[in-house]
Amino acid sequence: MWRVHRAKKKAASDPSDVSIFMFDKKNAKGKMTPAQQLEIFEVLKRDAANLAKFRHPNMLNLIEPAIEDKTVIAYVTEAFEYNLSYLIDKNKKEFIPSEIDLKCMILELIEIVNFLHANTKSIHMNISPENIYITKEGKMKLAGLNFIKTFTSADPVAAQFDPLLKVTDTSLVPNLRFAAPEISSSSAMVSA
């Protein structure tokens, strides 16, 4: 869905590497009504908005907020090398870290989930390989905050997603292969 480009900052004082997430709006055209297209664009822009809102060392750092014109939505984050989905899909065993590094990454993931739950009273709702990024330094960074939900008590959080909202053939719902069972139940998969 997102194309990610590597780039360098324009500022001569800080020419560091960055990653640019770009979404081509023509991918949301097709059989969608204008209202559905607007809803898709809002879901996509939520990731950048929430990256700005929820700052943590294990969260992908937002450099520039989402910008939008007639053809694209784009935002800029700190640079990363790849996401876990890339490692799985391409079978890149040479990039898979050592056992001790994996344990550290799992600890980093637990820390960010704990931060979201304890400090921001939020549930990520979409932790999956596509949303776990690895930096050049080998640090794990979490993103994919499009479906984050807040909670106020220990009661279950209402999670409704519309599987009919699609970009090309991809539904704009959390990755159900990695979702909690209550999210993938039929009652959660109805129009809100």
| The token pair that represents 178 in the structure block | 């990695």
pLDDT at 150 over 60: yes
pLDDT at 21 over 90: yes
Q: Mean per-residue pLDDT for 147-174?
A: 72
Q: Mean per-residue pLDDT for 128-151?
A: 90
How many Cα atoms within 13 Å fall on the side-chain side of residue 32?
Answer: 23
How far is 187 from 86, CA to CA, in rounded Å? 31
CATH class of 3-184: mainly alpha
Query: What burial class does residue 75 get, using C-beta atoms within 10 Å of its C-beta: 0-12 exposed, 13-18 middle, 19+ buried?
Result: buried
Q: pLDDT tens for residues 76-116?
A: 999 999 998 888 877 776 777 788 888 888 999 999 999 99
> What pLDDT, on the 0 to 100 scale, is given for residue 73?
96
How far is 132 from 82, CA to CA, in rounded Å? 9
How far is 192 from 36, CA to CA, in rounded Å? 13
- The three-class DSSP label of residue 7 is strand
* Cα–Cα distances in angstroms (integers) from residue 136 to residues 15, 82, 83, 187, in the given order: 16, 9, 11, 41
How far is 115 from 122, CA to CA, in rounded Å? 9
pLDDT band at 125 (very low <50, low <70, confident <90, very high): confident
Q: Mean per-residue pLDDT for 158-185?
A: 68
Q: Is the pTM of this model over 0.75?
A: yes
21 pairs with which residues across the strands?
Answer: 4, 75
pLDDT at 190 over 80: no
pLDDT band at 23 (very low <50, low <70, confident <90, very high): very high
Query: What burial class does residue 23 get, using C-beta atoms within 10 Å of its C-beta: 0-12 exposed, 13-18 middle, 19+ buried?
Result: buried
> What pLDDT, on the 0 to 100 scale, is given for residue 169?
56
Domain boundaries, the chain: 3-184
pLDDT band at 40 (very low <50, low <70, confident <90, very high): confident
> What pLDDT, on the 0 to 100 scale, is given for residue 175?
77
Work out the percent of the chain whose per-residue pLDDT is above 90. 44
> What pLDDT, on the 0 to 100 scale, is given for residue 186?
47
How far is 129 from 109, CA to CA, in rounded Å? 12
